[in-house]
Amino acid sequence: MCGIVAYIGNKQAQPIVIKGLKRLEYRGYDSTGISIYNGSALHTLKTKGKVSDLEALIAQHPEQKATLALGHTRWATHGVPNDTNAHPQTSNSGNLVVVHNGIIENYASLKKELIHRGFTFSSDTDTEVLVNLIEDVQQQQGVKLGQAVQIALSQVIGAYAIVVFDRRKPNELVAARLGSPLAIGIGENEFFVASDATPFIEYTKEAIYLEEEHLAIIRVGKSIKIRKIKDDSLAEPYVEKLQMSLENIQKGGYDHFMLKEIFEQPKAIQDTLRGRLLSDEGVITLSSLREHDNRFLNAKRILIVACGTSWHAGLVAEYLLEDFTRIPVEVEYASEFRYRNPIIYPDDVVIAISQSGETADTIAAINIAKEKGAFIYGICNVVGSTISRITDTGCYTHAGPEIGVASTKAFTTQITVISLIGLYLGKANGTLSRSQYQEYLTELSTLPTKVEQILASQTFIEEVATSFKTAQNCIYLGRGYNFPVALEGALKLKEISYIHAEGYPAAEMKHGPIALIDKEMPVVVIATKKGYYDKVVSNIQEIKSREGRIIAIVSEGDTQVKALADYCLEIPDASEPFIPILSTIPLQLLSYYIAVQRGCNVDQPRNLAKSVTVE
């Protein structure tokens, strides 16, 4: 949450930082700001709203030629989104500016102490406390900027990614992280610091992902020095080659990133399977499993921790892994798991699922499971993310950057990875017969084409959306493997269209929610041929007799549900464990079109951020 971009080098810094902030708006977009150093003066402009509002503000001021700038796009934690609380935050002397992503938990006590020493505060932010704490260290101890930041940070409890600039040190930026990501792009005599690599992808392919509790002193004309915040010792920078391209992070002719990402799913699933599924040879090559299969095969239990959409993928995993391996699986909200003193055995395998690899609650859950000796397997999309680095091993989804705040291709590729894991283990422990294993393998390779087929019904789904765009509530129902899909469908609708939506196991209707059904209530039922079809048909009858409006997701060629439902969205047939990858696609499109028709900002829904790095 919150996006940071800083530039120091030989180019005009302001346009680079503004363009970078636009790419990071998925991380937060309630207020924004920039500080520019033009060689003699430090100018800071801040505003409530989006980066486009900041651009408008910049246009009202004299043009600044500067080769150093720091920018921020915010998702408010401390203090309402307004101009004053926006970052950068400036120290009392005006010498220091800081941009910050994270939360300083002990800011209140630090602030009290600083007030006692004569500091004054104009914002409600924890960041203004941090910048003044650094200044206080400088004033008290007369140390260099890097060391002042290091000393200040060792007094801080919480999470942060920060970039600090001192106008008395015009060739230097100091960056540090604990719990929130920071990437440093290394160009020709220029450096970029950002919350991810997207702001600098067209300038350099070389980057350092700053490690936990590391601090970087970045000087133009010199190399980067990295120190450990805990003991000030030097650390060796590890420079990575970025795989990402500019094309990956642009809309590519689509109206929204979300639509682009929905349509990328055939390729994303193909990329997830590439080199891992050799269906003709009957082989799954997942080195992370092969090297540790004794941990999985001897596990008495698999625990899955995740949040939001990734948690829904975890629920699908519960059905699939238990079916394929007969190893018991439990799925936990990471946010609950971390605070309830969970029972974890050293022979448990914990699978953490996260698109961003930066979700604070999931990271905390991993750390707890690690302390108790469990083996941790990560399923992440973002390469080099925190979760991918703190887990014992894992597997990337390779879905490519997901920029729309609503998760789409991350979900289907997470289930694809889980299918590979289930098949590998099911074969290894003998739960799946040879023929069953081979059938599933062959079928898995056909999924990208089936997803393409569903996407071709885009226009019809758009028409269906028109009939439901004014709804105020909506219920989603599914059974078995389709129950998590119902939850996911409801989450997609509520987060981007602001229509209240709930997902239920279809059979739970009678235990309460059926009281809500009347002719105003749209009910989305996932009624595919495989998976308790007859029982779901009975549930549809019950809704029909109470005049509910039904949109059904059905298998190709269905006639029975078609006779009952108001609208049917068809998907190709598949084995039950693979249905969620298909049945979720029409629900993504339905939510997308309803939100667009309601005039909502689908890529940046209100109050949300893509990467939830605070709890």
- Annotated active-site positions, please? 2, 610
Closer to ligand F6R by Cβ: residue 126 or 495 = 495
- Minimum CB separation of residue 269 from ligand F6R in Å reads 17
Contacts of 459 (CB under 8 A, 6+ apart): none
Distance from C-alpha of 422 to C-alpha of 286, rounded to nearest angstrom: 11
Closer to ligand F6R by Cβ: residue 6 or 331 = 331
Closer to ligand F6R by Cβ: residue 355 or 388 = 355
**495 in contact with ligand F6R (CB under 6 A):** yes
- Minimum CB separation of residue 402 from ligand F6R in Å reads 8
The residues in 322-381 that bind ligand F6R, with binding defined as CB under 6 A, are 354-356, 359, 362
Closer to ligand F6R by Cβ: residue 166 or 358 = 358
**308 in contact with ligand F6R (CB under 6 A):** yes
Q: How far apart are the first and last CA of the chain?
A: 10
Contacts of 5 (CB under 8 A, 6+ apart): 16, 17, 20, 21, 24, 70, 71, 72, 192, 193, 194, 195, 199
- Minimum CB separation of residue 610 from ligand F6R in Å reads 7
Q: Which stretch binds ligand F6R (CB under 6 A): 56-64, 196-204, 308-316, 390-398?
A: 308-316
Give me the residues paired with residue 569 across strands. Answer: 553
Closer to ligand F6R by Cβ: residue 307 or 540 = 307
- Minimum CB separation of residue 399 from ligand F6R in Å reads 11
- Minimum CB separation of residue 266 from ligand F6R in Å reads 20
398: left (phi over 0), alpha (psi -120 to 50) or beta: left
| Residue whose C-alpha is closest to residue 318's, from 356, 342, 343, 353 | 353
- Minimum CB separation of residue 590 from ligand F6R in Å reads 14
C-beta of residue 166 within 8 angstroms of C-beta of residue 93: no
**416 in contact with ligand F6R (CB under 6 A):** no
Residue 456 class from Cβ within 10 Å (0-12 exposed, 13-18 middle, 19+ buried)? exposed
**261 in contact with ligand F6R (CB under 6 A):** no
Q: Which stretch binds ligand F6R (CB under 6 A): 92-100, 199-207, 302-310, 464-472?
A: 302-310
- Minimum CB separation of residue 143 from ligand F6R in Å reads 38
Site string for ligand F6R, 448-487 (x = CB under 6 A): ----------------------------------------
Please say whether the dihedral angle defined by the alpha carbons of residues 81, 83, 88 and 93, taken in this order, is positive or negative: negative
394: left (phi over 0), alpha (psi -120 to 50) or beta: left
**391 in contact with ligand F6R (CB under 6 A):** no
**67 in contact with ligand F6R (CB under 6 A):** no
- Minimum CB separation of residue 429 from ligand F6R in Å reads 28
Distance from C-alpha of 383 to C-alpha of 196, rounded to nearest angstrom: 10
Q: What is the β-pairing status of strands 522-527 and 473-478?
A: parallel
3 state DSSP class of 412 = helix
Among 182, 307, 364, 420, which residue sits at the site for ligand F6R (rule: CB under 6 A)? Answer: 307
Closer to ligand F6R by Cβ: residue 89 or 356 = 356
Distance from C-alpha of 72 to C-alpha of 18, rounded to nearest angstrom: 9
Closer to ligand F6R by Cβ: residue 353 or 454 = 353
Closer to ligand F6R by Cβ: residue 370 or 544 = 370
C-beta of residue 579 within 8 angstroms of C-beta of residue 528: yes
Closer to ligand F6R by Cβ: residue 7 or 257 = 257
User: Cα–chain-centroid distance for residue 38?
Assistant: 35
- Minimum CB separation of residue 312 from ligand F6R in Å reads 8
**210 in contact with ligand F6R (CB under 6 A):** no
- Minimum CB separation of residue 493 from ligand F6R in Å reads 11
Among 309, 413, 482, 583, which residue sits at the site for ligand F6R (rule: CB under 6 A)? Answer: 309
Residue 359 class from Cβ within 10 Å (0-12 exposed, 13-18 middle, 19+ buried)? buried
Closer to ligand F6R by Cβ: residue 172 or 495 = 495
DSSP 420-445: HHHHHHHHHTT-S-HHHHHHHHHHHT
Q: Which stretch binds ligand F6R (CB under 6 A): 141-149, 163-171, 238-246, 301-309?
A: 301-309
Among 198, 272, 407, 419, which residue sits at the site for ligand F6R (rule: CB under 6 A)? Answer: 407
Distances (CA, A) of 241 to 164, 206, 208, 357, 512: 26, 5, 9, 19, 54
- Determine the size of the site formed for ligand F6R (CB under 6 A): 14
C-beta of residue 501 within 8 angstroms of C-beta of residue 490: yes
**284 in contact with ligand F6R (CB under 6 A):** no
Omega before residue 88 within 30° of 0, cis: yes
**595 in contact with ligand F6R (CB under 6 A):** no
Tokens of 422: 């289930």
| Residue whose C-alpha is closest to residue 241's, from 83, 394, 383, 429 | 383
% helix, strand, coil for the chain, step of 5: 40, 25, 40
Binding site residues, ligand F6R, CB under 6 A = 307-310, 354-356, 359, 362, 406-407, 491, 495, 612
